[in-house]
Chains A and B, each alone.
Chain A
Amino acid sequence: MLRYVLKRILWLIPVIICVSFIVFALMDLAPGTIIDAMISEATTAEDIAALRAKYDLDKPLIYRYGKYMFRLAQGDLGLSDVSQTSVWDKYITRLPNTLLLSLAALVIGSAISIPMGINAARHAGKITDTATTTFTLIGMSMPSFWLALLLILLFSYYLGWVPAGGNKGFSAFILPAVCSGLLLMANSTRQTRSSMLEVLNSDYLRTARAKGVPEKVVIRKHALGNAWIPILTTIGSSLGVSLAGSAVIESVFAWPGVGRATVDAVLARDVTETCGMIIMSTIIYVLLQLIVDLMYAFVDPRIRAQYTNRKKKRRSAV
């Protein structure tokens, strides 16, 4: 198990190399450079030349990439091209906001979606199910910014319960959390529903019922216990995405998270910062997937057995 975890973590290295190269290449291919984003009415031709030299824009891409990677290998994400401040600091100051939002979304999303999905699956084809599926369909097809605006309109403008955005304490946090929670929910409700449907028709549920196990326990223990894996996968990847920061939601609610910082860095053509932000999000995403994988083993003994079997095999091989 430990070896498996270590192996997965080591895999991060090639992933980071690839990701950072892709970021560098894309930023290089994108028209415009950091200088074009900085230019003002007072910028002279000499200034531009000086800036080009400062940002190594007169050198080939591979030189800049190599320089970046050399620094990265020493664990240094570098200084932002634009603000000359540490990218790591910037990420770390933004991360708690994103983390808070993602976790709230996770809690809100799964607290609603799992019971709702189960309920829909149990009453498949009936009105509750239709209502739920319609609701999730709306939730999934509605663009997030649109949902966000509607929520602001209703709860902030008409009802005046919570502020529309900003970072003034808990009340400003409610709407973005609910909004990302709803988005996560739509997805995971559908997943819960379909994976429960699959399980509800299975023979072992019939066995459990034939034993006289109360229906509540049948659903909670026998059915959900088996439906976890796809649900975990969905929630895990949604969480991964939201941990990378949802630029859209963060923009609408003026929430100072990682996603917006990344987009701002791209718009400013700040290669170092963009790359740093994306590398950090990649690491978080990969680690999260690892946790999800480990959780598979926790919920499913067959997967757990694979880990132990591997170990046994290796021992016998030695």
Chain B
Amino acid sequence: MKKAIRTLCLIMSITMLLTILASCGQKASEKPGTETGTPSTSSAPSATPTPNTPPPPPDDENVKYAEELDVIIDNNKIAVINPFLSASNTSPTTWVFNMIYDKLVYGLGEGEYGPGLATSWDTEDYKTFIFKLRDDVYFHNGEHFTADDVIYTIEQARAAEGAPVHDRWADVETATAVDPYTLEIVLKTVNVDFFYNISQPQSGIVNEKAMTEDPENGTWIGTGCWKMADFAPNDYVKLVRNDDYWGDKALTQRITLRYVPEMSTKLMQLQNGETDVCFSLDPVDMPMIEADTENYTCYKYTYNNIDLIGFNMEDPIVGDWNFRMAVMSALDLEEITIASCGDYGIVETEGTVYGYETEFRNHDIPKVPYDVEKAKEYLAASPYNGEEIEIACAIATYIISAEVIQEQLAKIGLKTVIKQMDPPSMGAYCAYGDNKSQMFVHVGPQTLSAASYRNLYYPGAGYNRVSYNNPVITEMLDRAPTLTDLEERKALYMEMQEIIAQDPPYFSMYWLQHMAACVKGVGGMVLSADSYFDLRYIYKIID
């Protein structure tokens, strides 16, 4: 007994020591890339980001696919599977929407749309649309899909104020079922973005019966090629293949999407083979996994959201044009990018603040050049008088950026102080109408549709954190959706970008590259720049 306890003590102590030692050894061997501190210039980031989408499944009948896949989702949680709630706007939630719902139409890119639940559609004036619907579609609960379900979905969406889906269907004036498989939709105004809107993940069609029977989880029922099996909020979603799907069936039978909060756990689960796909690894760990081509295939992708500096236009100092120009001229973006993203940052070299995949991007706007002397001149001309200017930031990467910015601004004699907060606080801090910020480092989110430009500049919009209010731009933003002519619309957006560049309330900095680290043999995902990934036909080839 005595001996046993003594041995136990010893074992415990040794284990503790070993684990500590193990961790020391780990650091040295595992992260060779970090030893030098800053990456070499030879690996300088490429000029424009492009999504690196995995290959579609091979056209070979002999290929065997794994039955079950485990996916660690990116750093956002899935709080709820309900498109009618505003909490459903996180990226991985849209992945689930893509899997369990079908949309009326699917985007094919470049303004083209292909059939989904609607087989064909017709319009004469871009206001009234007639959709012909499929008659062979069943919901996961066995209900037959009809035009009434679309109408029900539209009604629900219009009641769901604040949810992304609300805006997707907001333009609909009336929706009527001509017959069970013919739907007439009349819009309030001409809106060229309507097809884009209804092809989005949140615009999936839900079933009326399921929703009334189970108001809480009725939204789990869709027509998609995956069915919900289990869900723990903020933790995991389990899906099974819909074997009665009307279209191409999924290649995998079961899939679990998991949220793992701890970066190191993510990495170890990938290395242990506990997961097949791991999104958003810690950038520090990415080179190691990427180098191990024998075991892993890595797909890099970049979100459409530019990381930027925002200037509160209402602030007496920061709102001054000369001051903003001083800051922009004083910043060496290369240095900021490397410090913030390591090897995985791409410096923004163009002057516009615009998603790289968003339609109608203006490539001809020059970036404010890096020129310290010029910056000093601008600063002298500004009302700045030695005050400490605040830089607000919320997440780790931006805190690093802010620190580098602080250092660079000090070189032109501009004093700054960094204020850290959590993301929701940031929203309240920079709220339109009651903007307490001066400068901030944050993200400028944009979808693939040019319409999302509105949210960065329109007075009162959720992401207008700079309190930008330019009547010219406001009018142009109002006009944009009514222009049915593609060229006309393009010209308008190009012009807006030029006007805003004269008056820059934002300064774009870099794009952060992410990586889906996959076990060898995984493919079939569509990693689109708007973060609404399509994992329906994900697969893993096994020997």
Contact = CB atoms under 8 A, between A and B. Distances in A.
A120 B424 CA distance: 49
A202 interface: no
A201 interface: no
B9 A256 contact: no
A12 B362 CA distance: 64
Interface in A195-233: 216
Contacts of A33: 424, 428
Contacts of B262: 145, 149, 165, 251-252, 254
Nearest to B443: A41
B236 interface: yes
Interface of A: 30-48, 50-51, 54, 82-86, 90, 93-94, 112, 115-116, 119-120, 128, 131-132, 134-135, 138-139, 145, 149-154, 156-158, 160, 163-168, 216, 251-254, 256, 260-261, 264, 267-269
B85 A40 contact: no
Contacts of A163: 269, 272, 274
A223 B532 CA distance: 64
Given A37-B427, A149-B264, A264 B462 contact: no
B176 to A, nearest CB: 26
10 contacts: A33-B428, A44-B167, A47-B86, A82-B85, A128-B9, A131-B10, A152-B264, A163-B269, A168-B274, A264-B234
B110 interface: no
B271 interface: yes
B447 A256 contact: no
B452 interface: yes
Contact of B233 (A83, A134, A166, A251): A83
Contact of A254 (B86, B261, B445, B458): B261
B462 A40 contact: yes
B13 A40 contact: no
Interface string B383-396: 00000000000000
B446 interface: yes
A97 B263 CA distance: 22
A268 B18 CA distance: 39
A252 B427 contact: no
B426 interface: yes
Most buried by A among B22, B87, B168, B260: B87
A33 B191 CA distance: 32
B422 A165 contact: no
A235 B528 CA distance: 51
Interface string B404-434: 0000000000000000011111111101100
B272 A35 contact: no
Contact of B423 (A37, A54, A256): A37
B428 A31 contact: yes
A119 B5 contact: yes
A264 B461 CA distance: 26
Interface stretch (B52-60, B158-166, B332-340, B510-518): B158-166
B232 A93 contact: yes
A152 B262 CA distance: 12
B428 A119 contact: no
B161 A254 contact: no
A69 to B, nearest CB: 24
Contacts of B1: 216
A190 to B, nearest CB: 14
B8 interface: yes
B390 to A, nearest CB: 14
A159 to B, nearest CB: 10
Nearest to A136: B12
A43 B9 contact: no
B36 interface: no
A165 B269 contact: yes
Contact of A45 (B87, B235, B459): B459
B87 A268 contact: yes
Contacts of A128: 5-6, 9
